[in-house]
């Protein structure tokens, strides 16, 4: 169903590029969609990429450019003149065009804008690149169809014929008042089936949801997902219609946010993928490893204070990995559920208490199961004192880890810190330290009392 | 911008329900959209829920039902007669209706279908519930507009007027041949701006992407996301048009898949959220804790074989948590990147070698950084033999963990096992065990040679 790039196929194309076999390349390209071609170009070096790009037919070229990885697009565009870039951008929707231009060096931005033939497109782009990244303003496109409330259906259809020149897909028709303020919408369906002389104000739907340009991408994504919207109008502070966001742009935001959460929880601090350079991957991963090292060093200091006890009871060391691992596991489980609940707005945001109680309940149940099992095992294999120490410590650690795994992300969220970022690394390290403390405290207590 | 349910607001509503204050409740409900009302009902008990549900106006009621949590919907529907359920379902799109009916007990399914007044809707639903869950067939809706290629534009508009009765939003018009096989599409825009006497075959777009009913939800989601599609037609084995999937349904699949991946990687085996019952949460989390316990027990056996050495060198125990934690961290980082690469199709699927090499490179770089740092620390605080042991072991463990974190998910994926499921728990536990083995082996070797 879907194109999959294999190394064989890539090699064949690279050979064809090397031998300048245009016929073969064009034949291959004609069977592919823009995102597929972009996947291929992402794997090529600059010379190969720009040779191949020249052979893509004009309709697809702009789409291919959009689908490329950021750094590959940057490389490719650096081989273009400002005029050539402008030609490609003329074929894009305003939001995509603004994204591409925003990535260029500032002096080149102006040159490219000056070369765009469609003056309206140029002014739309100039407006859009001013919005801060990650806001509704930066996500929206200018291409939309709007009509005044006082117009007739037939006049509307005439107007739409004019406006549709610049619009690719027609989702809905926005209705504005005399001051360009958004007051409702008119479905295309309604328009088609209404009498030509009916007025828009008689047939439009006044209940319309919109966002301000300053809303964040995540807010927009949550909003559209929650209310099942395919397109969402964007208004300025005076409620004037300035653009629209479509769900396909938001799908990428949703995917990227989810990917980012998973990376943060895994202790990766930048957005990276397997195709990034070695040092980029390395740099994104070292911070959390250093945090983990500090945790390990603190752990070593805690165990160090029990050195004498360890000489007498070296068997205490046997279960250090178990206590550490279980604390980490329970903490990650708890925080994953909370992070997800926060991201999906399924938590009642204002009360932490009930969540903590429930989580402690889960910790208690699972803690009892685990500690009974480990007691049964250790009392058979090792001696009963060690068994008692391990099982009491395990129960305490699991309950503690449940508490921290819930409390930390909820608190982080209150202070507007991304709970996913803080949770994975922070909770795991903290639980490791606390686990060691509890284990050896319990050990000293039990051995001390019973010996 | 978005409604957020607070405990205060919920209490007020519950009081109003208890005192049967219909006026207040209706006033509150009139300001809310369906998903918001569903969030409220999810927090109510059955009696409160069904009282509130009765007060929702008819247009919204079906939408509210759809947005409820599965178990809350089941509870609520169990208080309805088959006829009442049928009335609600009559107001839904066919895909949503089929989802709701599929959840009912089988004997009630038939009763409800028999009560649906619109015979076409009933037969559409009966068809849809036969498709396996998680396939394109189960995602698709029957509401679509299609025209024959030989028809004229004006005849099409007439046809659309008829067909739009059952269609909520008109995305595109599908074009089929005399045998109902999908051959292309016609944008509404094109239809509006074309001459009334033009024939569809002269103006339609023959290049159309479609999926078979048997494609999986994830395939559909990847496909629509990759190709930026808002709606995707579904065809049967003979390429006959049988339904369409819209992006808003797929947005939920994307979100759910991402959530599921994060849960699997966090060692949670079922789809749960904070609102689930305590024992459900507990059950979803215990399997991975038991796996972790087994890992911990194996770890204890490994350390156990070095008991005599520990008596002489109890300081070896100090760095057990550090070695375990770092192995786990590196493994999770590596596997998170691979799991995401697999999910996003950014890996070249056919060659494992280059990925392993790169990952080993990252492991080597980060391993050297960490082991130099820990060497510097330990040689100052502890003695040089311990410092040498810890730093050599740490380097080895990090490289090993990088290898496993890459290799395990790639291999799982080859065998069609969800790499996210296997990765978090499996890799962490495995790394813990291997970490202990390496640490004590290195320790015995260094202490043995140098003492």
Rg (C-alpha) for chain B, rounded Å, is 30
CA B356/CA B402 separation, integer angstroms: 8
Alpha helices (H) along A382-418 = 384-414
d(CA A300, CA B318): 4
Q: Identify the pLDDT of residue B422.
A: 64
Summarised one tens digit per residue, pLDDT across range B348-402 is 555 667 778 888 899 999 999 999 999 999 888 878 888 999 999 999 999 999 9
pLDDT-derived band at A309, boundaries 50, 70, 90: confident
CA B216 to CA B132: how far, in whole Å?
A: 10
Contact A310 B307 (CB under 8 A): no
For residue B382, the SS3 value is coil
Residue B292 distance to chain A (closest CA, Å):
7
A270 domain-assigned: no
Whether residue B366 and residue A322 make contact (CB cut-off 8 A), yes or no, is no
Average pLDDT over residues B104-114: 90
Residue B36 lies inside a defined structural domain of this protein: yes
- Does residue B261 form part of some domain? no
Contact B337 A274 (CB under 8 A): yes
CA closest to B67 among chain A residues: A226
Confidence of residue A251 (pLDDT cuts 50, 70, 90): confident
One domain, residues B213 and B311 = no
Minimum-distance CB partner of A251 among B170, B247, B332? B247
Q: How far is CA B288 from CA A52, A330, B270, B328, B333, in A?
A: 49, 9, 11, 15, 19
**Token pair in block for residue B140:** 């698709």
Chain A to chain B, count of Cβ pairs less than 8 Å apart?
Answer: 387
Residues A283 and A166 placed together within one structural domain of the fold: no
Nearest Cα of chain A lies from the Cα of B428 at a distance, in angstroms, of: 9
CA distance A259 to chain B (A): 7
H or E element in which residue A317 lies = none
**ipTM here:** 0.77
Q: Averaged over A257-281, what is the pLDDT?
A: 80
Alpha helices by DSSP H, listed for B266-348, are 278-304, 307-312, 320-343
Token pair belonging to B191: 């239809």
The string of pLDDT tens digits covering residues A117-155 is 888 889 999 999 999 988 999 999 998 889 999 999 888
Per-residue model confidence as pLDDT tens digits over A395-414: 999 999 999 988 888 888 88
In a domain, B185, yes or no: yes
**Lookup: tokens for A434:** 């606390």
Give the residue among A21, A25, A52, A24 at the shortest CA–CA distance from A38.
Answer: A52
CATH code at position A237: 3.10.580.10
Closest CA to A139 of A15, A245, A21: A245
Model confidence at B64, pLDDT cuts 50, 70, 90, reads very high
Position A349 pLDDT exceeds 60: no
Buried b (16+ CB within 10 A) or exposed e, A318-345: bbbbbbbbbbbbbbbbbbbbbbbbbbeb
Residue A350 has pLDDT above 60, yes or no: no
The pair of three-digit structure tokens given for residue B79, joined into one six-digit string: 């208080």
Residues, chain A? 451
> Does residue A422 share a domain with residue A306?
yes
pLDDT of residue B343: 74
Contact B219 A2 (CB under 8 A): yes
Are B284 and B411 found together in one domain? Answer: yes
A302: nearest Cα among B374, B387, B297, B322: B322
Query: Stretch B112-138: mean pLDDT, rounded?
Result: 91
Phi, psi of B216 (to 5 degrees): -80, 160
Are residue B222 and residue B290 in the same domain, yes or no?
Answer: no
Partner-chain contact B336 A374, CB within 8 Å: no
pLDDT number for residue A199 = 92
Q: What share of chain B is helix, strand, coil (3-state, %, to 5)?
A: 70, 10, 25
Residue A176 dihedral angles phi and psi, to the nearest 5°? -120, 155
DSSP bridge pairs for B211:
B234
Q: Classify residue A254: in a domain, yes or no.
A: no
Q: Are the beta carbons of B333 and A268 closer than 8 angstroms?
A: yes
Q: Kindly state whether residue B252 falls inside one of the protein's structural domains.
A: no
Is A305 in the same domain as A439? yes
Contact A326 B289 (CB under 8 A): yes
Q: Do B329 and B392 fall within a single domain?
A: yes
| Number of domains present in the structure of chain A | 3
What CATH code is carried by the domain that includes residue A88?
1.25.60.10
Min Cα distance B130 → chain A (Å) is: 23
Which chain B residues have a beta carbon less than 8 Å from that of A366?
Answer: 282, 285-286, 289
User: What is the CATH classification number for the domain harbouring A395?
Assistant: 1.10.357.20
Contact B296 A247 (CB under 8 A): no
d(CA A402, CA A425): 15
The answer to whether B365 contacts A193, with C-beta atoms less than 8 Å apart, is no
Do B294 and B432 belong together in one domain?
A: yes
Tokens in use for A315? 């068997």
pLDDT at A48 exceeding the cut of 90:
yes
Confidence of residue B282 (pLDDT cuts 50, 70, 90): confident
* Residue A163 or B104, more confident: B104
Domain-ending residue, one of A91, A111, A134: A134
Same domain, B37 and B116: yes
| Positive/negative CA dihedral, A66, A69, A70, A72 | negative
The predicted pLDDT at position A169 comes to: 63
List C-alpha distances in Å: A334 to B143, B274, B332, B430, B450. Answer: 42, 10, 17, 22, 45
Which of B229, B247, B265 represents a domain boundary (last residue)? B247
* Chain B partners within 8 Å of A259 (Cβ): 258, 340, 344
Q: Given this model, what pLDDT does residue B233 score? A: 95
Cα separation, A308 vs B315, whole angstroms = 10
State the residue range of the domain holding A420.
278-450
Specify whether B283 is located in the same domain as B383: yes
Same domain, B73 and B174: no
For the ranges A134-138, B269-273, B406-410, the maximum mean pLDDT occurs at A134-138
**Cβ-Cβ contacts under 8 Å, A274 against chain B:** 337-338, 341, 346-347, 355, 358
Domain termination site, one of A230, A247, A264: A247
CA angle A277, B420, B298 (to 5 degrees): 105
Strand partners, A199: A152
CA B336 to chain centre: 16
Task: Give a yes or no: residue A294 inside a domain.
Answer: yes
Phi-psi region of B297 (alpha: psi -120 to 50; beta: other; left: phi over 0): alpha
Using DSSP bridges, classify how beta strands B231-235 and B241-246 pair: parallel, antiparallel or unpaired. antiparallel
> Helices (DSSP H) in A151-203: which residue ranges?
153-163, 188-193, 200-203
Residues A293 and A435 in one domain: yes
Question: Is residue A258 in a domain?
Answer: no
């Amino acid at each position: 169903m879907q194109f999959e790039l294999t190394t064989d196929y890539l090699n064949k194309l690279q050979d064809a590029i090397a031998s300048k076999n245009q016929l073969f390349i064009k034949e291959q390209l004609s069977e592919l969609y823009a995102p597929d071609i972009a996947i291929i170009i992402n794997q090529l070096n600059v010379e190969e990429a720009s040779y191949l790009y020249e052979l893509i037919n004009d309709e697809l070229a702009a789409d291919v450019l959009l689908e490329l990885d950021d750094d590959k697009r940057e490389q490719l565009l650096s081989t273009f003149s400002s005029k050539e870039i402008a030609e490609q951008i003329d074929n894009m929707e305003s939001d995509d065009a603004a994204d591409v231009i925003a990535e260029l060096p500032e002096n080149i931005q102006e040159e490219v804008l000056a070369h765009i033939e469609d003056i309206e497109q140029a002014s739309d782009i100039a407006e859009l690149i001013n919005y801060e990244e990650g806001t509704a303003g930066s996500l929206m496109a200018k291409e939309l169809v709007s009509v005044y409330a006082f117009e007739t259906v037939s006049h509307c259809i005439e107007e739409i014929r004019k406006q549709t020149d610049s619009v690719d897909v027609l989702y809905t028709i926005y209705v504005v008042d005399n001051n360009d303020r958004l007051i409702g919408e008119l479905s295309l369906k309604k328009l088609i089936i209404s009498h030509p002389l009916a007025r828009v104000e008689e047939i439009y739907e006044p209940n319309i949801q919109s966002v301000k340009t300053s809303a964040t991408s995540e807010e927009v994504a949550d909003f559209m997902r929650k209310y099942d919207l395919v397109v969402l109008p964007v208004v300025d502070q005076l409620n004037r219609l300035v653009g629209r966001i479509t769900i396909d742009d938001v799908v990428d935001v949703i995917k990227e946010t989810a990917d980012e959460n998973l990376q943060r929880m895994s202790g990766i601090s930048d957005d990276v993928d397997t195709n990034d350079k070695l040092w980029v991957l390395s740099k994104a991963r070292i911070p959390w490893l250093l945090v983990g090292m500090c945790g390990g060093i603190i752990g070593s200091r805690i165990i160090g204070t029990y050195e004498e006890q360890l000489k007498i009871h070296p068997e205490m060391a046997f279960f250090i990995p178990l206590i550490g691992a279980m604390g980490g596991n329970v903490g990650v489980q708890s925080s994953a559920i909370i992070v997800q609940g926060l991201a999906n707005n399924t938590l009642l945001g204002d009360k932490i208490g009930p969540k903590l109680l429930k989580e402690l309940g889960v910790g208690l149940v699972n803690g009892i199961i685990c500690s009974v099992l480990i007691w049964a095992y250790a009392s058979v294999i090792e001696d009963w004192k060690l068994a008692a120490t391990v099982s009491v410590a395990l129960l305490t650690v699991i309950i503690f880890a449940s508490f921290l795994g819930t409390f930390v992300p909820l608190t982080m969220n209150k202070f507007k810190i991304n709970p996913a970022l803080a949770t994975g690394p922070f909770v795991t390290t903290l639980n490791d330290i606390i686990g060691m403390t509890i284990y050896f405290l319990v050990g000293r207590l039990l051995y001390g009392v019973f010996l």
